[in-house]
């Protein structure tokens, strides 16, 4: 059963903003340590 909850990470971008981004999920269903996606790019 899939959970309705979603994981978001708050990151600081180069322009100084702090948006909430979706975490990058590995094929085994676990979240990666730091990366998050932003406009099809990986933000760290």
**Which pLDDT tens digit goes with each residue over 2-39?**
778 888 888 888 888 888 888 777 888 787 776 665 66
* C-alpha–C-alpha distance, residues 8 and 1, integer Å: 20
pLDDT at 44: 54
Residues 6 or more apart whose Cβ sits within 8 Å of residue 11: 18, 19, 21, 36, 38, 43, 44
What is the pTM for the complete model shown?
0.52
């Amino acid at each position: 059963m899939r959970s309705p909850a979603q994981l978001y990470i708050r990151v600081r971008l180069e322009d100084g903003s702090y948006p909430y981004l979706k975490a990058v999920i590995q094929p085994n269903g676990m979240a990666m340590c730091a990366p998050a996606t932003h406009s099809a790019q990986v933000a760290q």
